[in-house]
């Protein structure tokens, strides 16, 4: 048997063994991984989670549907209201590229870092914005957030090496820069080939890690070569909840950055309704099912406490009234001139007092000046009866005595009658008056007590204002403009003798268009 025949047999045997030992379905299923890269709770109770799902070989899993995601917090199931693929739905991102340009990066390392940066930018969506940051003895933002690829390329090509390494300051600065972006997804890709050197950082090691935890921005940490501060970079990656990526040589940077770009392009933005979570520290758990396997990831968040009713201001102290000394006439009586002057003074005082009372009443409508709202704050708000299955057929408790007119709604959905019964107004399905745009978390309750209509802001963070001023409680008056999230409504009292106008009869109880 010649050498060529023996080589062919060995190659065939190797192929057979490779096929026989290939990863089976169980191995692939066990390697499914989910990671919550970022959790934005600024619009609580709505949570927005940027999620990465990878398969057995680390490739992003694409094409996942909302029903493949399940959310919970503390064992309480939460509704997943939306799942968006960044690539398929044009969900933009604010990305910071942070480059180590210290003296050790001179030559081939910096050249390969430039090429890797260009390769990553080429993978991004046209609507993504990128900022370029360089650090050596100091930290500089060479290019603020921009979508202009030419400007970004010029900033990367302009990188020059030299100086010490302010690594701790660069970590904190790049994270804060990414957090300043108002785009739905944010991230940092930070490259370093060494350790914090030269004492140039204005922040400590612990302070830099605390910044990462505070901002919650995912930082993809890339360590180049064998002189890196690996313990610190591992701790940094753990704080950012991302894997540490190592490039033993500069030639491997391009492939690493391309892999990061693919991961970012195929992120999912999962929207969760966390209304049912109690105030305090909580842990969001997202589970995803794919091809028979399930992977889960967790991320902490804070549920704010509901706003406390404002403290009632103390009543103004009454000014002491000085009794004028009686003026006597030559006959021992009161002079007519004095009587006339006193009458005029009393008239002026009455007019001034009346004006002061009117001004105080007008000013006190939004506060607790009249005492009625103070009493309301000490009383529990009325409970609403369960809404009927068909909101349009829900009975009205008594004749309409007021109405809400939608100022920025679609034609044909402009008014809703109010009666003595309490009503909640908002975008949630359980509201008596359901407004369009289900993403808004703002809601209020309006009811009549002691002859006046009261408004109570039930939102934890949503904007509610009356007359342009944010309120928790308010006494409504005819003509008041109410803001509930993005919606503007006009409150109008109706004369008691007025009947129900024709355009209000048989009107659906939902205001969604």
Q: Both 175 and 281 in a single domain?
A: no
CATH number of the domain that residue 282 is part of = 2.60.40
Q: Both 66 and 156 in a single domain?
A: no
| Beta-carbon-side half-sphere exposure of residue 85 (alpha carbons within 13 Å) | 14
Q: Both 46 and 120 in a single domain?
A: no
- Residue-wise pLDDT for 342-378, tens only, equals 555 555 555 555 554 545 444 444 443 344 444 444 4
Task: Pick the most confident of 28-32, 260-264, 364-368, 383-387.
Answer: 260-264
| Residue ending a domain, choose from 215, 249, 283 | 249
Average pLDDT over residues 300-307: 84
pTM of the model: 0.56
Q: How many domains does the chain have?
A: 3
Other Cβ atoms within 10 Å of 497 Cβ, number:
5
Confidence of residue 90 (pLDDT cuts 50, 70, 90): confident
Greater confidence (394 vs 352) lies with 352
- CA dist., res. 44 & res. 441, Å (int): 8
10 within a domain of the structure (yes/no): no
Cβ contact 171:163 at 8 Å: no
- CA dist., res. 56 & res. 288, Å (int): 15
359 within a domain of the structure (yes/no): no
The pLDDT score that the predictor gives to residue 16 is 37
Q: Both 427 and 389 in a single domain?
A: yes
Q: Both 72 and 144 in a single domain?
A: no
**Which of 483, 467, 481, 489 lies closest to 407, judged by CA?**
489
512 within a domain of the structure (yes/no): no
Average pLDDT over residues 458-466: 77
Q: Both 126 and 74 in a single domain?
A: no
Q: Both 42 and 101 in a single domain?
A: no
The pLDDT score that the predictor gives to residue 15 is 39
166 within a domain of the structure (yes/no): yes
DSSP 3-state of 417: strand
Q: Both 84 and 131 in a single domain?
A: no
Average pLDDT over residues 162-171: 96
The pLDDT score that the predictor gives to residue 345 is 58
- CA dist., res. 188 & res. 219, Å (int): 5
CATH number of the domain that residue 444 is part of = 2.60.200.20
Cβ contact 113:191 at 8 Å: yes
Range of the domain at 52: 29-88+270-303
Q: Both 238 and 103 in a single domain?
A: yes
- Residue-wise pLDDT for 121-166, tens only, equals 999 989 999 999 999 999 999 999 999 999 999 999 999 999 999 9
Average pLDDT over residues 379-396: 39
- Residue-wise pLDDT for 175-190, tens only, equals 999 999 989 899 999 9
Greater confidence (509 vs 42) lies with 42
- 113: Cβ–Cβ under 8 A, 6 or more apart, which residues? 99, 100, 105, 159, 191, 224, 250, 253
| Residue ending a domain, choose from 249, 281, 314 | 249
- CA dist., res. 61 & res. 51, Å (int): 11
The pLDDT score that the predictor gives to residue 411 is 54
DSSP-derived pairing of the beta strands 443-449 and 469-470:
unpaired
Weakest-pLDDT range from 206-220, 263-277, 436-450: 436-450
The pLDDT score that the predictor gives to residue 151 is 96
14 within a domain of the structure (yes/no): no
Average pLDDT over residues 494-511: 42
Q: CA 447, 448, 453, 456: dihedral to nearest 10 degrees?
A: -30
CA-to-CA separations, 275 to 30, 52, 72, 142, 197, in angstroms, rounded: 33, 24, 11, 42, 47
Residue 271, pLDDT > 80, answer: yes
122 within a domain of the structure (yes/no): yes
Q: Both 229 and 280 in a single domain?
A: no
215 within a domain of the structure (yes/no): yes
- Residue-wise pLDDT for 403-435, tens only, equals 888 887 655 556 788 887 788 888 877 788 888
Q: Both 112 and 236 in a single domain?
A: yes
For residue 500, report the phi and psi dihedrals to the nearest 5 degrees: -80, 120
Residue 466, pLDDT > 80, answer: yes
462 within a domain of the structure (yes/no): yes
DSSP 3-state of 109: helix
CA-to-CA separations, 505 to 28, 393, 412, 415, in angstroms, rounded: 61, 12, 12, 11
Average pLDDT over residues 294-307: 88
Greater confidence (364 vs 261) lies with 261
CATH number of the domain that residue 99 is part of = 3.40.50.410
Weakest-pLDDT range from 123-127, 252-256, 284-288, 332-336: 332-336
DSSP 3-state of 267: coil
CA-to-CA separations, 401 to 396, 455, 504, in angstroms, rounded: 11, 16, 13
Q: Both 462 and 500 in a single domain?
A: yes
Mean pLDDT of the chain: 78
Residue 502, pLDDT > 90, answer: no
Secondary structure E strands in 174-332: 185-192, 219-224, 245-247, 268-273, 280-290, 293-303
């Amino acid at each position: 048997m010649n050498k060529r025949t023996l080589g062919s047999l060995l190659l065939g045997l190797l192929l057979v063994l490779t096929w026989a030992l290939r990863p089976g379905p169980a191995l692939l299923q066990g390697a499914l991984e989910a990671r919550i890269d970022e959790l934005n709770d600024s619009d609580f109770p709505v949570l927005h989670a940027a999620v990465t799902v990878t398969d057995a070989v680390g490739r992003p899993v694409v094409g996942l549907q909302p029903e493949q995601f399940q959310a919970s917090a503390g064992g309480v199931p939460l509704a997943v209201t939306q799942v968006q693929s960044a690539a398929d739905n044009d969900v933009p991102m604010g990305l910071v590229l942070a480059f180590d340009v210290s003296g050790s990066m001179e030559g081939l390392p910096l050249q390969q870092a430039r090429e890797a940066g260009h390769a990553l930018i080429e993978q991004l969506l046209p609507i993504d914005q990128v900022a370029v940051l360089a650090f050596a003895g100091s930290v500089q933002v060479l290019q603020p957030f921009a979508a202009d690829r030419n400007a970004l390329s010029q900033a990367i090509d302009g990188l020059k090496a030299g100086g010490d390494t302010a690594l701790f300051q660069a970590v904190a600065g790049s994270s804060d820069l990414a957090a300043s972006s108002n785009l739905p997804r944010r991230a940092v890709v930070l490259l370093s080939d060494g350790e914090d050197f030269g004492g140039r950082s204005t922040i400590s090691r612990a302070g830099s890690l605390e910044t990462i935890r505070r901002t919650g921005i995912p930082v993809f940490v890339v360590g180049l070569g064998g002189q890196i501060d690996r313990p610190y970079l591992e701790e940094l990656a753990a704080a950012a909840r991302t894997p540490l990526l190592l490039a033993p040589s500069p030639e491997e940077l391009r492939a690493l950055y391309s892999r990061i770009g693919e991961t970012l392009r195929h992120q999912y933005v999962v929207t969760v309704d966390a209304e049912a979570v109690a105030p305090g520290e909580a842990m969001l758990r997202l589970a995803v099912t794919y091809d028979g396997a399930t992977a889960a990831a967790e991320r902490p968040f804070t549920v704010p406490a509901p706003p406390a009713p404002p403290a009632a201001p103390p009543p103004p102290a009454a000014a002491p009234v000085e009794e004028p000394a009686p003026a006597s006439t030559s006959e021992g009586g009161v002079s007519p001139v004095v009587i006339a002057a006193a009458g005029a003074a009393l008239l002026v005082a009455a007019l001034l007092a009346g004006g002061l009372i009117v001004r105080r009443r007008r000013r006190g409508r939004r506060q607790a000046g009249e005492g009625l709202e103070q009493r309301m704050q000490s009383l529990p708000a009325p409970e609403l009866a369960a809404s009927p299955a068909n909101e349009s057929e829900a009975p009205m408790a008594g004749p309409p005595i007021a109405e809400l007119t939608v100022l920025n709604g679609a034609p044909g959905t402009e008014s809703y009658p109010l009666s003595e019964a309490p009503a909640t107004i908002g975008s949630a399905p359980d509201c008596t008056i359901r407004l369009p745009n289900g993403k808004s978390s703002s809601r209020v309750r309006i009811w009549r007590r002691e002859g006046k209509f009261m408004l109570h802001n039930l939102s934890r963070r949503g904007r509610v204002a009356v007359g342009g001023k944010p309120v928790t409680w308010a006494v409504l008056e005819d003509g008041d403009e109410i803001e509930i999230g993005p919606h503007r409504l006009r409150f109008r009292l109706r004369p008691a003798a007025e009947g129900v106008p024709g355009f209000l009869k048989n009107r659906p109880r939902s205001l969604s268009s």
